[in-house]
Amino acid sequence: MDLRLVGYFLSVFEKGSISAAARELHIGQPSLSRQIRKLERDLGVTFFTSGAKASATSAATAFAPIARDLLARAEQAEAKMRTTDHSEMLRLTIAGPPTTVADVIAPFIASSGSEGLLSNIREVLPNAVYRELAEYRADLVVGSSPPPSHLEYVVVGYSPIWAQLPEDKKNINRKEISLAEVAKYPIAIVDDNHNVRRIFDQAISEAGLSVDIAFETQSTQASQALAAANRAVCISSDDPRFNLHPLLIKKPGRDNVLSITLYCAWDPGHFASEQLKSTANLLSNFYNTQRAN
């Protein structure tokens, strides 16, 4: 199978038309149509209906993930051979939510020096992290929900979920607050696309409490700004901004605090799986050292 034609197929499939794909690929539309027809003849299927729109058939929908896998593995093979033959350093991509990128991943890359393997970062929503591996957009990901069972992972560490309030005489000397006390305040918190929200809601439910979600936001910075304006208490795992004072949230009946677990995961079939595991362990060591300090 000609991988060049597979790439052409994916471009047409993703763009939704022959003309749009031809523009992206910088080739003539008639030439692209001929290449697609050749691939269809080679495989004995029809991928697109006739006409400029070239609507995808069920065969195209079924072949698309296979095509992505073929192209991704070909890229991995090329990268492996370049590394083997020329001793070129691997350049790997890591993905994570914006907060994790800012507070964990970017500082880790900055500390890794010239020998670090991570060279690119993709910011994604927390609920889309593991999809980055499935769709070959990242080599390594950091998420706050348990990885799917087919992936390998290490636990990077645990990040407290804070109740963040303006600094004042009442709170400045405090280090923690009970969940029941938090529930008495109006709350500013991100929506349930974020694990912080899901963990907080679960803890409130398990404790038999009710809470006033006064502000549901799409960004932690918005929640923190509302808290700084004395309009709510911000619930977040982010480092505080706007001179907010963070308090650890104590769960009822337990000697621990509300927190999220950070996982660093990768595909064990990746050609650089050993290097990925090593990088994940270095990330974990970095994170826990930073927390200890």
pLDDT category of residue 82 using cuts at 50, 70 and 90: low
> In this prediction, what percent of the chain has a pLDDT beyond 90?
37
pLDDT at residue 106 above 90?
Answer: yes
> Are 277 and 228 contained in the same domain?
no
Residue 88: its pLDDT value, please?
A: 53
pTM above 0.95, yes or no: no
- pLDDT at residue 86 in the model: 42
Q: Is there a single domain that holds both residue 228 and residue 182? A: yes
- The pLDDT-based confidence of 80 (bands split at 50, 70, 90) is low
Number of domains in the chain: 3
Label each residue of the chain as H, E or C.
CCHHHHHHHHHHHHHCCHHHHHHHHCCCHHHHHHHHHHHHHHHCCCCECCCCCCCECHHHHHHHHHHHHHHHHHHHHHHHHHHHHHCCCCCEEEEECHHHHHHHHHHHHHHHHHHCCEEEEEECCHHHCCHHHHCCCCCEEEECCCCCCCCEEEEEEEEECEEEEECCCCCCCCCEEEHHHHCCCEEEEECCCCHHHHHHHHHHHHCCCCCEEEEEECCHHHHHHHHHCCCCEEEECCCCCCCEEEEEEECCCCCCECEEEEEEEECCCCCCHHHHHHHHHHHHHHHHHHHHC
Q: Are 142 and 129 in contact (CB under 8 A)?
A: yes
Average the pLDDT over each of 28-42, 45-59, 117-131, 190-204 and give the range with the smallest value.
45-59
Q: Verify that 62 and 9 share a domain, yes or no.
A: yes
- Give me the CATH number covering residue 36: 1.10.10.10
Q: Both 179 and 252 in a single domain?
A: yes
Task: Say if residue 77 is in the same domain as residue 10.
Answer: yes
Given a cut of 80, whether residue 152 has pLDDT beyond it is yes
Please determine, for residue 200, whether its predicted confidence score (pLDDT) is greater than 80: yes
In the predicted model, what is the mean pLDDT of residues 84-105?
77
pLDDT at 87: 42
Mean of all residue pLDDT scores within the chain: 86
Look at the block and give the residue holding tokens 């799986």: 273
Cβ-based burial of 52 (10 A; exposed 0-12, middle 13-18, buried ≥19) = exposed
List the CATH number of the domain containing 151: 3.40.190.10
Q: Of 85, 108, 128, which marks where a domain is finished?
A: 85
Higher pLDDT, 209 or 3: 209
- Asked whether residue 166 falls in the same domain as residue 253, the answer is yes
Q: Which amino acid is at 235?
A: I
Residue whose C-alpha is closest to residue 163's, from 103, 224, 100, 233: 233
One domain for residues 128 and 271? yes
Pick from 30-39, 169-178, 183-192 the range whose average pLDDT is largest: 183-192
Across 134-144, average pLDDT:
89
In this prediction, residue 155 carries a pLDDT of 95
Q: From residue 175, give the alpha-carbon distance in Å to each of 22, 79, 192.
A: 60, 49, 27
**154 & 264 share domain:** yes
Residue numbers of the domain that contains 209? 162-257
Residue 292 has pLDDT above 70, yes or no: yes
**Average pLDDT in the 42-49 region?**
86
Same domain, 144 and 172: no
What integer pLDDT is reported at residue 257 of this predicted model? Answer: 86
Q: What's the rounded mean pLDDT across residues 54-71? A: 84
Confidence of residue 114 (pLDDT cuts 50, 70, 90): confident
Band the pLDDT of 64: cuts 50, 70, 90.
confident
* CATH code for position 168: 3.40.190.290
CB atoms within 10 A of CB 106: 15
* Whether 137 contacts 210, CB under 8 Å: no
Q: Assess whether 154 and 269 both reside in one domain.
A: yes
Instruction: Kindly state whether residues 8 and 77 are assigned to the same domain.
Output: yes
Domain stops at, among 35, 61, 85: 85
Lowest-confidence region among 57-61, 119-123, 212-216:
57-61
Of 70, 85, 100, the domain-final residue: 85
Between 206 and 293, where is the model more confident? 206
**Looking at the predicted structure, is the pLDDT value of residue 17 above 80?**
yes
In a shared domain, residues 30 and 152: no
